[in-house]
Structure 1
Amino acid sequence: MTALASIILAIAVTACTPTRVVEDSPAVVTDRQVDQAETLSRKGDFKGAARTYENLAAQSPGELRDRFLLRAAREYVRADDTARATTLLNQVSASLPRADFGLRSLVAAELALRGGRGDRALAELDRIPQPIPRELSPDVLELRARALFALNRPAAGVSTALERERTLSTQEEIRANQRLIWQGLQKSAAGNADFTPPAGASQTVTGWLDLGRAALGTARNPFSANEDIAQWRTRYPSHPANSLLAEDVLPQLNIGLDYPTQIALILPLSGRQQAAGMAVRDGFLAALLQQEASRRPLLNVYDSAEMGATTAYRQAVADGAQFIVGPLTKDEVTAIATSGETSVLTLALNQTNENVSPPPMLFQFSLDPEEEARQVAQRVTADGRMRGLVLLPNNEWGQRVFRAFDTELKTLGGQIAGMKFYDPAARDYSQPITELLLINESRARANALFAALGTRMEFEPRRRGDAQFVFVGAQPVQGRSLRPALRFHMAEELAVYATSDIFEPDAQGNNDLEGVIFPDMPWVISPDAASSQLRTTLSRHWPVRARGRGRLYAFGFDACRIVPLLKAGQFGSAHAIPGMTGLLSIDENGHVKRELDWAKVSGGRATPLGTAATASVR
């Protein structure tokens, strides 16, 4: 059950009842549409329900319009369309009736939590008038527990979830609440939370917290999970989580490890993309080799650079592949998608060209800079920074990133105050930066004033004051020059956001990126034990690739993890898995979505930010 599932629609529509009805009255039509929206929601068609409520809002005045907008926003949240939900929530009047305030706070809290702001989610929940209505209590406590887990406060999260359990009546609801705790423990473990039980904690709370130490490893790397869970069950034989582990978690692990008997991997293992292809291959093999030999599928590897992607695909099918992973480049993926030969489940490791619709059996997984740009836009608005500047390279990559960032920022109510494209081959970025900050205009005004006065005075140019952040798109070499240049030109107090491309792990030059905030995969920035162990393994066995191709190694590892999800048809955010490249789920369009972690460069290192706001940029 979602956080908003038990809200009861209570809209009173009054109308006279004529002796003879010739046609439906507006009240009857409204009632019918409300029933339709509720039916769609119960069937899981949340977008259909949301559109129905939007139509009702467009036909309704005042408070009634706000009520329908709130319910439309709730349904869009359920449909994972947070951008549209945010837009509708912003249209709701600030002066709501008391009866609607709880739903508004729940929707706002859910959006804040999904935007990485657990602290804001708690603040929204605290705005609900006391005493909280009984019918809202389970939803409020659920969101509060999830926010606490996201803020790396697992002890408080467990206690809140157990308080929620006392408001539930059916075994199904209690089991869902236990899954909430399990998932929350995984979230906190990913943030390297402290699982030490507080003084006086009950055996139930202590057991849950002890289970947290195994929770992330179970999700991030399930191949070694059974042993960890077995040891916990020995320590806590009568703990209520045992039934969850036996009936939900362990069977789910078996699904998570249920691979086809034969897999084909199509990658460029020669030519210009050889290094990238080998890194992805090694990551895929690392995941596969952690399985028991008796359960490990047969893997055939094909060189797309030598054979051609389409020929390699045909050969893999002819050799008996039940599942194909690859190819790697956009052109190769587009060629497969348009070949008409996609006959087995296929996980492409890139995206097709924009004008190509992939066939039903082809899914797409990529390290997409445009998705990162959208997540940056979500982060800056969640951090309360609604107006900013954009500085991107003048190339095709920069154009793509700009379009994605600009669209998402505007959707969330933000605004770009100024933007500049710079030459990525240049060594001096003073001109685009001074133009972006309007320092050149400040100097021009001063020179005009001096000319008019016929004299010169002491003058210090000023940068523009209408921006709260700068979004920079850059590779590591450019980023290490752009960040100091921004600081030199009086932009020290502006928050600087970037995509992960700006940060190169284990590089000395990262000291020049001080204060930059960016999203990245757990492989790079997460302190948890599962990620650290795999990073260490890569560095030990392939030290050269670890330095330059670590993200691609993690990409290959996660590609292997996704195969069972696709085989089992586990789509949507409800089946998300914490991977090495992000929190992974498969959307309705067949794209693998990655929810990234956040970091800030401090002392040359990527310091995890978790979900807290980034108030200071120094």
Structure 2
Amino acid sequence: MTLFLRTTTLLLIGISLFGCTPKDSIITDKTQAPTDLVTTDDETQLEPTESAGEHMELAALSTGVDRNKHLLKAAQILVHQKQFELAEKQISEINQELTSSEEQVELQLLTAEIEINRGNARYALKLLNIARILPTEQQIRLMQLRARAFLDSSYPLESAKTRVQMDKLLTDQFDQELNHQAIWEALSLLPTTSLQQISNAPLNTDFLGWVELAKIAKRGQVDWQYLQDGIHLWRQEYPEHPAAKVFIRELGNKQIELIDQPRHIAILLPLNGKYAQVAGAIRDGIMSSYYQHPDKTFQPKISFIDTSDNQAAIWNYYKKAADQGADFIIGPFLKSAVDILTRAEQMDIPTLTLNYASTQTKNSPNLFQFGLLPEDEARQSAELAFRQAHTHAAVLVPEGAWGERLRNAFQQRFEELGGTVISAQTYTPNKNDFKQPIQSMLNIKQSYSRYRAIQNVTRTKMKFTPYRRQDVDMIFMAATPKDARQLKPQFKFHYAGEIPVYATSHAFTGQLNKQADRDIDDLNFLDMPWILNAPSQSKQSLIKYWPEQQRYTRFFALGVDAYNLIPFLGRLQGKTYERFSGQTGNLYLDPFNRIHRELLSAQFKRGIPKLIDINTLPVNLVIDDTTPIQQPIN
């Protein structure tokens, strides 16, 4: 059965643009082989492998500069054919002392392309730090590779900027169209908030035009009818923009894309019992989106089925929804029920759960898992800290499974990026004194031990200041608001006040409390747009009509996104670069149909959370110091 059934509504194509083009054909730039790479003999064209082999044979029979030239030519062919290991072997045999400056640049470009395809994009960016003036074709290759490496290193803004600069050098229409699609894919990865921040910065007209078009498409993800008007106004504002020549014309030719919509949505929630308040917040979020949806033609029937605490009977509730005629299901909420559903090889009714299974397994293509996964936040804390040039972390998490999950997620991602976790400690939550775990984490206990040992030997009183470890440049802390307000000041008391501290959204209640939150000033943390942005229409409704739900405000946002996501699931499932800019985060789907959230970055100042501007975030390319780096050619 297809993802959505029966009724169709209009979803304008601008949400994705050129959605039928596979990603690999976009981000793998079209690099032309040198004109002499293919030779002919008796009107018969040789295969590229034969040409590479010929140059390797000639290299074996040559010496000096001639040998270098044949090895370089063979490497060029092999890289073009994606035979990277064999290409690297040819490069390793080149005598660097006999290469010209142009050949040195070519070697750096070839090596960078090899590293990108190996997954070493950050190392490739170091290789691509070439400052000298290059011929146009080589400059284009340099910028193509930098754009690819930026994207693979999770710097989509820098990738898009590079491609916009490169666009002026391209003369072939096909190359331009590929480049425009790649610009679009990079900008599609960014949430609405980041796009707004970018558009507020000084930009050249071409790049600003791309950003404004991306903002229109993001708004069109929910407000479908706005998209046509937005594009029309954009064309009036940017009549000479490169995208207006072909990109928008093709968009205009397609105009709309039909996406199936459900006519009857059944919602499975434990509306009574232990989880009633949380479930109530999710229910209210769903209904808020239902009533406030911009397209009034999208008015499916909504049915609520109370699962209460009997999650083991989830298939009975699923059958009840089917008997009532539901063609889409939201829920269940509890992990145990999601675990049961994931064991099914096939589900007839598309289902969006509100939690995640205990294990990550391939399940029915009609089963999607969505929730507030804390591991996503821990991984992004690692990314934010690393991007801000921190590479040696201390970790402090609460005792128990939750703290262990966050520590593991942070450490795994931090080490993937090239950082090192120097020290990790646990603490007992809900205490006022965290001296012992903090001292252990910072090695202050060892400092006291050394002091006592010296005092025992000298038998004299000495002035003593404890000395913390100096090999830590950041702290990752997992804590609730109460514990965070206790822990942060105690870091300062223990001589670590200048070390940046990073945390997940759990350190913030989600409601402004300037007096209490002054204790966590300078704390770097992540949270959802629902919390950090100006109140949306849905949030204003929550404050007005459901003030008692403020405690569960993030679950209200979960309900908002669960409803708005439904028409977009097929697009997320089909395109790896696609993101839904929701209230709970920038949402994307992994190969296991699990929806992940990319959150916004913020820092507390005078007790108030302030968004970190994406324009101010540096690009950190720190890699292992033992990795050899070719110096840029000046």
Report TM bin, short chain: 0.7 to 0.9
Residue 461 of structure 1 and its aligned partner are, at CA, apart by 0.8
> Which range moves more in the overlay, 227-236 or 286-295?
227-236
Deviations 1:60-115 (A, max 9, x none): 7584599xxxxxxxxxxxxxxxxxxxxxxxxxxxxx95324236667999999999
TM-score, normalising length from structure 2? Answer: 0.73
Name which of 306, 315, 318 aligns with 1:310.
Answer: 315
State the match for 2:172 in structure 1: 169
Residue 287 of structure 1 and its aligned partner are, at CA, apart by 2.6
When residues 306 and 250 of structure 1 are mapped into structure 2, their CA distance, relative to the original with a 3 A threshold, is farther
Distance 1:581 1:153 in 2: 21
Query: Quick check: 1:102 aligned with 2:126?
Result: no
Query: Quick check: 1:543 aligned with 2:543?
Result: no
Distance 1:135 1:245 in 2: 29
State the match for 2:560 in structure 1: 557
Distance 1:521 1:209 in 2: 22
State the match for 2:524 in structure 1: 517
Distance 1:15 1:246 in 2: 48
Name which of 594, 597, 607 aligns with 2:597.
Answer: 594
When residues 348 and 236 of structure 1 are mapped into structure 2, their CA distance, relative to the original with a 3 A threshold, is same
Deviations 1:432-453 (A, max 9, x none): 1112111121112111111111
When residues 3 and 102 of structure 1 are mapped into structure 2, their CA distance, relative to the original with a 3 A threshold, is farther
Distance 1:65 1:345 in 2: 56
Question: SS where residue 220 of structure 2 aligns?
Answer: helix
Q: Does the CA contact (< 8 Å) of 2:26 and 2:178 recur in 1?
A: no
Query: Quick check: 1:435 aligned with 2:440?
Result: yes
Question: SS where residue 134 of structure 1 aligns?
Answer: helix
Distance 1:169 1:298 in 2: 51
Q: Does the CA contact (< 8 Å) of 2:447 and 2:466 recur in 1?
A: yes
Question: SS where residue 137 of structure 2 aligns?
Answer: coil
When residues 299 and 238 of structure 1 are mapped into structure 2, their CA distance, relative to the original with a 3 A threshold, is farther
Distance 1:604 1:252 in 2: 47
> Which range moves more in the overlay, 333-342 or 134-143?
134-143
Distance 2:121 2:223 in 1: 24
Question: SS where residue 265 of structure 1 aligns?
Answer: strand
When residues 580 and 251 of structure 1 are mapped into structure 2, their CA distance, relative to the original with a 3 A threshold, is farther
Residue 606 of structure 1 and its aligned partner are, at CA, apart by 2.0
Question: SS where residue 574 of structure 1 aligns?
Answer: coil
Query: Quick check: 1:300 aligned with 2:303?
Result: yes
Query: Quick check: 1:417 aligned with 2:396?
Result: no
> Which range moves more in the overlay, 420-429 or 211-220?
211-220
Letter in 2 for 1:427: N
Letter in 2 for 1:98: V
Name which of 269, 272, 276 aligns with 2:271.
Answer: 269
Question: SS where residue 321 of structure 2 aligns?
Answer: helix
State the match for 2:583 in structure 1: 580
Residue 125 of structure 1 and its aligned partner are, at CA, apart by 5.8
Q: Does the CA contact (< 8 Å) of 1:6 and 1:139 recur in 2?
A: no
**What fraction of aligned residue pairs are identical, expressed as a percent?**
25
Distance 1:197 1:578 in 2: 21
Name which of 328, 332, 341 aligns with 1:327.
Answer: 332
Q: Unaligned 5+ residue runs, structure 1? A: 18-30, 40-48, 67-95
Deviations 1:468-496 (A, max 9, x none): 11110111111111111111111111111
Question: SS where residue 305 of structure 1 aligns?
Answer: coil
Q: Does the CA contact (< 8 Å) of 2:491 and 2:497 recur in 1?
A: yes
* Structure 1 segment 482-497 matched on structure 2, within 5 A: 482-497=487-502
Deviations 1:23-57 (A, max 9, x none): xxxxxxxx9xx999988xxxxxxxxx8xx85xx47
Deviations 1:126-174 (A, max 9, x none): 53643165266277279669989x99999x9789727605515236843
Instruction: Give RMSD over aligned pairs.
Output: 4.5
Name which of 328, 343, 352 aligns with 1:347.
Answer: 352
Q: Does the CA contact (< 8 Å) of 1:263 and 1:324 recur in 2?
A: yes
When residues 345 and 9 of structure 1 are mapped into structure 2, their CA distance, relative to the original with a 3 A threshold, is farther
Question: SS where residue 401 of structure 1 aligns?
Answer: helix
Q: Does the CA contact (< 8 Å) of 2:140 and 2:169 recur in 1?
A: no
Q: Does the CA contact (< 8 Å) of 2:355 and 2:369 recur in 1?
A: yes
Name which of 604, 609, 615 aligns with 1:606.
Answer: 609
When residues 165 and 347 of structure 1 are mapped into structure 2, their CA distance, relative to the original with a 3 A threshold, is farther
Question: SS where residue 489 of structure 1 aligns?
Answer: helix
Distance 2:531 2:116 in 1: 29
Question: SS where residue 272 of structure 1 aligns?
Answer: coil
Deviations 1:161-208 (A, max 9, x none): 276055152368437616735974994852333747979x87x78866
Residue 598 of structure 1 and its aligned partner are, at CA, apart by 1.3
Residue 378 of structure 1 and its aligned partner are, at CA, apart by 2.6
Distance 1:8 1:179 in 2: 18
Distance 1:556 1:249 in 2: 33
Letter in 2 for 1:271: G
Distance 1:189 1:146 in 2: 23
Question: SS where residue 560 of structure 1 aligns?
Answer: helix
Distance 1:252 1:113 in 2: 39
Question: SS where residue 409 of structure 1 aligns?
Answer: helix
Distance 1:165 1:493 in 2: 45
* Structure 1 segment 435-514 matched on structure 2, within 5 A: 435-508=440-513, 509-514=516-521
When residues 502 and 207 of structure 1 are mapped into structure 2, their CA distance, relative to the original with a 3 A threshold, is closer
Q: Does the CA contact (< 8 Å) of 2:392 and 2:422 recur in 1?
A: yes
Deviations 1:406-432 (A, max 9, x none): 222233332221111101132211111
Distance 1:526 1:111 in 2: 38
Q: Does the CA contact (< 8 Å) of 1:582 and 1:595 recur in 2?
A: yes
State the match for 1:80 in structure 2: none
Q: Does the CA contact (< 8 Å) of 1:572 and 1:585 recur in 2?
A: no
Distance 2:603 2:118 in 1: 23
Q: Does the CA contact (< 8 Å) of 1:109 and 1:125 recur in 2?
A: no
Distance 2:418 2:150 in 1: 24
Q: Does the CA contact (< 8 Å) of 1:146 and 1:184 recur in 2?
A: no
When residues 198 and 498 of structure 1 are mapped into structure 2, their CA distance, relative to the original with a 3 A threshold, is closer
> Which range moves more in the overlay, 422-431 or 570-579?
570-579
Q: Does the CA contact (< 8 Å) of 1:122 and 1:144 recur in 2?
A: no
When residues 63 and 143 of structure 1 are mapped into structure 2, their CA distance, relative to the original with a 3 A threshold, is closer
